[in-house]
Structure 1
């Protein structure tokens, strides 16, 4: 890597990692294309690389100053690609391998939330080999309605709100299609919120409104009727509580770079953290680009700040 003034206008050689072979491949390709074009608009030399078609372990990284990770799902968000880049000593954006692995497992992240005093809905861990009696006993311990979701998956894939025991088998089948482990989690009836962070700085809070039962895959990436609000009919203390919960969730997992917290506000005005995404989407329907725009930051500048911060952090780690 060249010796850069990290905050200057030096042209960077950036490899955008996107695609892969996870269930979120198509969304990752869209995120990668967005990042690639935005960084090119800032004058950088950018190439997009798909790990599904190129072996990153044997790639010649001498043409790369920093990798921008836009890989969603397994390998991208579970610490796999981060661990490889750490071994290759290639600077990269986002959280390190340990924080990525922790955040990607919903059960592990929730245990960290609980240890850190971060309010998160009650849950039980389930496995595809659990018998029906055990599953129903665990479901009853949570109570209905409940949410069934894969332990390690993104974009709300395999997630179902279950309102009665009769609907549980179908929800379990959807969940175990994506992962052998799953969660049954207390459903928080209320409103949907999200807040991002970028290089240690909070992004504007967003309220999400959808005609769907929850902010599912189609509401995220397909439905143009989903509404994203930056002005709220809430008292300031409640808004502050949501923001503080998001920040506490980031701190508890040790995430860095760009990340996003998903939150539910119950009917009593109490916020609950659902999960933290260490590589949120960067598509035209994605929340992080909306938040950056709301803050008045052009997307190319936003991503450029991220890659320069990644370079600076890498440099500082090598000095210690």
Structure 2
């Protein structure tokens, strides 16, 4: 079933300017038409079962529509590319694995129709469904580089999958997947996780090492050059809790918004960038929509960067 959000917002009369709610078109996934030019496709993931399993603070399932609400009134300055919204996928009966599988099918269909998926989570378990879709779309023989802007590795070994296990799940089963974590907090990860990261050849950049940006960008570029495709995820708890209080695990030493903006712009402008998700926004814990508004602006800027990229199709 397609669960669509009714886009709405301010309309500026007697002007040529548009806002995002006037541009986005709700479209059933089976009605998406393939284009020669890359367009943008939004999909929501109403799920925080992975956060619950990880003993975190639930509420992120409410984020997709809340982010859309704030996105709707942001000015949109481009006519070059269309933006479609294929609706939300829900996690029913606590069946995380089925929800992630369904998300993967939607993501794969968007990519195969030449759309850049922008996925609105949901807990960070969103990323596993994101990955499943990317892998299905590009095939098993292509190298996928996963860039995670996060305070945590999410490499845990647990009895059941959760929001803390995704990257281990992927690296254990996919020899053509590699992982770079940016913004890592030493105090946010136990020693065993660093050993696990070494075991799987995970690359990472500590939060304290991101500046100067030139060094970080060089490491991202070197990582990306080894891949056929790059998929990107932001776990919102990477951001300093003064700016992003509405997350499951607030970060007192987290990144400032300008840092998130700069890294995101660099990643989405990579030639082999494929898809993007934002996760762990929790409206039930937010303060005056600070977190959701911040991430909505990051997404809106991503639309801008994608519109400025040259016309090209997927390899």
For Structure 1 versus Structure 2, the TM-score category normalised by the shorter chain is 0.3 to 0.5
Rg (Cα) greater in structure: 1
